[in-house]
Amino acid sequence: MFFKKIQQVAARDWEAWVSEHDAVVLDVREPHEWAQGILAGAKKVQLTMLPNALASLDTTRPVLVVCRSGNRSQHAARFLIDQGFANVANLSGGMRALGLAV
């Protein structure tokens, strides 16, 4: 089975990537993690709730998926690609790489 490689966006480049692609930032962390801070304009959807939130997302708009360390967001990005999203990227290292999570 062929898997599309998920683009990895470095922490230092996330704002430029979002701006360049007019992308949605999708934060798939848990509510207690959101309380530590979120990226400006991010849409918050817990990873476990992502299948239920698909109807609220535009499959044609680029998405940068974010979590604490980059692991959950990698899984979420793969799920979105499998659901037909055209342009999905993962924030490499997550919020920890930005110094915004422990």
The one-letter code for the residue type at 10 is: A
Catalytic residue annotation: 67
CATH homologous superfamily of 7-97 equals: Rhodanese-like domain (3.40.250.10)
Q: Model confidence at 69, in pLDDT bands (50, 70, 90)?
A: very high
The continuous run of DSSP H or E covering 19 comes out as helix 14-21
Tokens of 48: 């476990």
pLDDT at residue 64 tops 70: yes
2-54 per-position pLDDT tens digit: 566 899 999 999 999 999 999 999 999 999 999 988 998 999 999 999 999 99
pLDDT at 1: 44
Confidence (pLDDT) at 102: 61
Q: Are the beta carbons of 25 and 18 closer than 8 angstroms?
A: yes
Residues 6 or more apart whose Cβ sits within 8 Å of residue 29: 44, 46, 47, 66, 67, 68, 72, 95
Beta-carbon count within 10 A of 62 CB: 18
Confidence (pLDDT) at 86:
87
